[in-house]
């Protein structure tokens, strides 16, 4: 079982009396792309927030890279190798692409505490590398992000995860606000990540996208995982049946 | 890889599309305002504002007036360097004027001479505390500034109250402390060393040196990058692992330290310190900053812009005096220009957004 990069056992989150997430057992292997689907309020985002430690779980275990982990916050999770592309883009609009790529982990030429001298050249080059790797097209990486299209901005956010060789990438509805072409660009990046064998958890409402890109679909309903389906063995109607509760599967089973 | 230093993924970067740096707009505004005053000067006074028309100087400029213009904005300019950083961070600082008053009082009381004209200094604040080396009052002044800045920053970062309120509190409290320090009495007769700090063109030298220093810091250090990042998107900065709260304390501390430095220069220049020193300085500093193109919504602006903004400010003040217009008009026009600068900035942003 050493090829499992992330596993959760009985992951539970209560907000006061609200049981947003109840006993989620989940696993993702290295190189695997897993979709998380479910209705609004089904617990998808809550689940991700527990893994990335944006919130602290009520109980349950998270085993990442073979070790049980207890991240104090999203920064620790990221340092451990879990990169998250949040629904609301975590980008600074007034900064250029390299500054955003290296936000909070700038390369420095000369260490002087807060007054460390930036190594702009190295960051520019690494940015180019990261963007080439993901096939993103941006006319001028030294322009502020503000002047870019939603797709380009999303690509920067995603390329950021690719550039840092994360062990696991999580995307929370990365194409929700994008147009057709921009969506295609983001999907291309996801394919690139797949070819490179980088594991990915994708939250998405887009059935076509999920069936095109993912290996496995995990369906959440009312805070529980209600289905764990292999993309090859299922079809969209089936998934919709699980999402709406028309069909209820066995408890989580290891595929 | 010649052109692809900018463009990526087969897209070629067109240099012509690159937006002009906003500082150029401020620079053009400065030129425009100078031209306006030159024209008005020729019509109303029959002489030039900045240029040497009657051959009194060796250069083409009316050196004396140019010097006065820069000198009179230097001290507030030092404060504006701090305001620039605070505003880029997405905050606001109303306390520098009062910190000037408080720091001037405290510094000066450690900078006094023992004897004036052979008599014991009648204004001596503390018995026996006189004729200290100049470093003592300077360091004490800086410590006052740093302490006030830490209080400002900590209030804003950790109690999460709006910067406006936190620094308003400091503004009122520091002014009170300035009055309390000597029970309202002015403190005078500084040592020769202390008096040198603000003598002659020293304020200008100090202002420009600090401007260069902070320009480099904002542009080339992690500190600068994080200041812009937090002003641009605080939540994203937090999620990216920037220690936002700590950084805020640092920025407000630097701003208050700059105000303390301005106080030292000012009290040295005036050879006296009074509790009422620096009233309204914070607003003039914010005005310089805003005129210089620093966005009040944070994330945008530069030290170069603020320096240009301070020069615009100086030209306007001198221009009005030169035209022998009432000081009342001066203040009214100052108000109009501050609001105008912000309106212009917003209009420019909207146009830039519409172009996409």
Over residues B247-263, the mean pLDDT reads 98
Answer whether residue B10 shows pLDDT above 60. no
Answer whether residue B4 shows pLDDT above 60. no
Tell me if A245 is assigned to some domain: yes
Distance CA A146, CA A150 (A): 9
The reply to whether residue B236 touches residue A118, judged by beta carbons under 8 angstroms, is no
Tell me if A143 is assigned to some domain: no
Over residues B8-34, the mean pLDDT reads 73
Structure ipTM: 0.80
Q: For residue B80, which of B289, B299, B337, B315 has the smallest C-alpha distance?
A: B289
Answer whether residue B2 shows pLDDT above 80. no
Q: Give residue ranges of B with CB < 8 Å to any A CB.
A: 4-14, 17-19, 217, 220-223, 225-226, 228-229, 231-233, 235-237, 239-242, 247, 250, 299-300, 352, 356
The 3-state DSSP class for residue A59 equals: strand
Q: State percent of chain B over pLDDT 90.
A: 63
Q: Please report which confidence band the pLDDT of residue B19 belongs to, taking 50, 70 and 90 as the band edges.
A: low
Q: What is the DSSP string of B294-332?
A: --TTSS---HHHHHHHHHHHHHHHHHHHHTT--HHHHHH
Question: Is B221 within 8 Å of A117 (Cβ atoms)?
Answer: yes
- Which candidate in B87, B218, B220 is best for mutational testing of the A interface (most A CBs within 10 A)? B220
In whole numbers, what is the pLDDT of chain B averaged over residues? 89
Q: State percent of chain A over pLDDT 70.
A: 93
Residues 6+ apart with CB under 8 A from B102: B144, B148, B174, B175, B177, B178, B181, B263
Q: For residue B254, which of B279, B275, B224, B298 has the smallest C-alpha distance?
A: B224
- The alpha carbon of B318 is separated from its chain's Cα centroid by a whole number of angstroms, namely 18
Q: Which of A103, A114, A142 sits opposite B240 (nearest CB)?
A: A103
More confident residue, A213 or A88: A213
Tell me if B207 is assigned to some domain: yes
Read off the pLDDT of residues B155-172 as tens digits, 9 standing for 90 and up: 999 999 999 999 999 999
Q: Which residues of B touch A116 (CB under 8 A)?
A: 221-222
Tell me if A27 is assigned to some domain: yes
Distance CA A252, CA B255 (A): 57
Read off the pLDDT of residues A96-119 as tens digits, 9 standing for 90 and up: 999 998 988 889 998 888 899 999
Residue B277 structural domain: 25-37+62-348
- Which candidate in A78, A79, A92, A148 is best for mutational testing of the B interface (most B CBs within 10 A)? A92
- Which candidate in B20, B213, B232, B296 is best for mutational testing of the A interface (most A CBs within 10 A)? B232
Question: Which CATH number belongs to the domain containing residue A249 in this structure?
Answer: 3.40.50.300
Q: How many domains does chain B have?
A: 1
Tell me if A169 is assigned to some domain: no
Q: Which residues of B touch A128 (CB under 8 A)?
A: 4, 8
The reply to whether residue B229 touches residue A92, judged by beta carbons under 8 angstroms, is yes
Tell me if A163 is assigned to some domain: no
Q: Which of B217, B231, B233 sits opposite A115 (nearest CB)?
A: B217
In whole numbers, what is the pLDDT of chain A averaged over residues? 86
Tell me if A220 is assigned to some domain: yes
> How does DSSP classify residue B127?
T
Q: Please report which confidence band the pLDDT of residue A137 belongs to, taking 50, 70 and 90 as the band edges.
A: confident
Min CA distance, A146 vs chain B (Å)? 8
Handedness of CA B27, B32, B38, B40 (dihedral sign): negative
Q: Please report which confidence band the pLDDT of residue A189 belongs to, taking 50, 70 and 90 as the band edges.
A: confident
Residue A166 Rama label (left phi>0; alpha psi -120 to 50; beta): beta
Q: For residue A192, which of B9, B5, B4, B240 has the smallest C-alpha distance?
A: B9
Tell me if B13 is assigned to some domain: no
Distance CA A137, CA A182 (A): 11
Q: Please report which confidence band the pLDDT of residue B5 belongs to, taking 50, 70 and 90 as the band edges.
A: very low
Structure tokens of B161? 């109250």
More confident residue, A202 or A86: A202
Q: Which residues of A touch B10 (CB under 8 A)?
A: 137
Tell me if A66 is assigned to some domain: yes
Structure tokens of A18? 């609200």
Q: What's the confidence (pLDDT) of residue A58?
A: 92
- The alpha carbon of A199 is separated from its chain's Cα centroid by a whole number of angstroms, namely 9
Q: Which residues of B touch A90 (CB under 8 A)?
A: 233, 235-236, 239-240
Tell me if A95 is assigned to some domain: no
Q: Please report which confidence band the pLDDT of residue B17 belongs to, taking 50, 70 and 90 as the band edges.
A: low
Q: How many domains does chain A have?
A: 1
Residue B354: its H or E element: helix B327-354
Answer whether residue A28 shows pLDDT above 70. yes
Residue A10 structural domain: 1-80+215-255
Answer whether residue A252 shows pLDDT above 50. no
The reply to whether residue B235 touches residue A88, judged by beta carbons under 8 angstroms, is yes
């Amino acid at each position: 079982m050493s090829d499992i990069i992330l596993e959760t056992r009985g992951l539970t989150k209560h907000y006061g009396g609200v049981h947003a997430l109840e006993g989620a057992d989940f696993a993702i292997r290295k190189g695997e792309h897993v979709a998380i689907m479910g209705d609004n309020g089904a617990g998808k985002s809550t689940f991700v927030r527990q893994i990335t430690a944006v919130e602290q779980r009520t109980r349950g275990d998270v085993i990442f890279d073979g070790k049980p982990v207890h991240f104090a916050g999203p920064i620790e999770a990221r340092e451990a190798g879990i990169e998250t592309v949040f629904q609301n883009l975590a980008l600074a609009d007034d900064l250029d692409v390299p500054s955003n790529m290296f936000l909070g982990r700038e390369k420095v030429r000369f260490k002087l505490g807060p007054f460390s001298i930036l190594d702009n050249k190295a960051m520019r080059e690494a940015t180019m590398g990261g963007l080439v790797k993901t096939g993103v097209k941006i006319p001028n990486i030294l322009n502020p992000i503000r002047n870019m299209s939603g797709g380009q901005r999303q690509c920067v956010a995603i390329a950021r995860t690719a550039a840092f060789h994360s062990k696991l990438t999580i995307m929370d509805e990365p194409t929700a606000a994008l147009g057709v072409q921009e969506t295609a660009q983001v999907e291309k990046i996801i394919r690139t990540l797949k070819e490179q064998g980088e594991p990915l958890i994708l939250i998405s409402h887009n059935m076509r996208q999920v069936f095109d890109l993912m290996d496995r679909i995990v369906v959440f309903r009312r805070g529980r995982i209600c289905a764990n389906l292999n993309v090859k063995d299922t079809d969209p109607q089936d998934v919709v049946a699980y999402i709406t509760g028309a069909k209820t599967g066995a408890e989580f089973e290891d595929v | 890889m010649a052109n692809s230093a900018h463009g990526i993924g087969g897209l070629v970067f067109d240099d012509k599309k690159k937006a002009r740096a906003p500082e150029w707009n401020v620079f053009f505004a400065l030129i425009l305002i100078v031209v306006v005053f030159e024209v008005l000067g020729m019509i109303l006074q029959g002489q030039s504002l900045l240029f040497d028309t009657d051959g009194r100087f060796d250069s083409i400029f009316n050196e004396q007036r140019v010097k006065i213009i820069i000198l009179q904005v230097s001290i507030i300019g030092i404060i504006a360097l701090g305001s620039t950083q605070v505003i880029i961070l997405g905050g606001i600082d109303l306390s520098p004027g009062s910190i000037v008053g408080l720091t001037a009082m405290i510094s000066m009381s450690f900078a006094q001479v023992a004897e004036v004209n052979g008599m014991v200094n009648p204004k001596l604040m503390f018995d026996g505390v006189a004729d200290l080396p100049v470093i003592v009052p300077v360091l004490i002044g800086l410590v006052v500034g740093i302490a006030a800045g830490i209080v400002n920053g900590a209030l804003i970062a950790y109690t999460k109250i709006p910067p406006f309120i936190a620094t308003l509190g400091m503004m009122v409290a520091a002014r009170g402390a300035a009055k309390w320090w000597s029970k309202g009495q002015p403190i005078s007769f500084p040592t020769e060393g202390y008096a040198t700090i603000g003598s002659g063109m020293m304020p200008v030298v100090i202002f420009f040196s600090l401007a260069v220093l902070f320009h480099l810091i904002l542009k080339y250090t992690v500190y600068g990058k994080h200041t812009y990042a937090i002003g641009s998107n605080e939540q994203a900065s937090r999620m990216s692992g920037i220690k936002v709260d700590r950084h805020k304390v640092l920025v407000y501390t630097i701003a208050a330290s700059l105000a303390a430095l301005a106080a030292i220069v000012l009290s040295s220049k005036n050879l006296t310190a009074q509790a009422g020193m620096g009233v309204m300085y914070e607003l003039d500093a914010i005005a310089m900053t805003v005129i210089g193109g620093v966005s009040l919504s944070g994330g945008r602006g530069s030290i170069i812009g603020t320096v240009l903004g301070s020069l615009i400010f100086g030209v306007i003040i001198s221009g009005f005096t030169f035209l022998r217009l009432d000081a009342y008009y001066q203040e009214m026009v100052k108000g109009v220009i501050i609001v105008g600068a912000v309106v212009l900035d917003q209009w420019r942003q909207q146009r830039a957004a519409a172009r996409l």
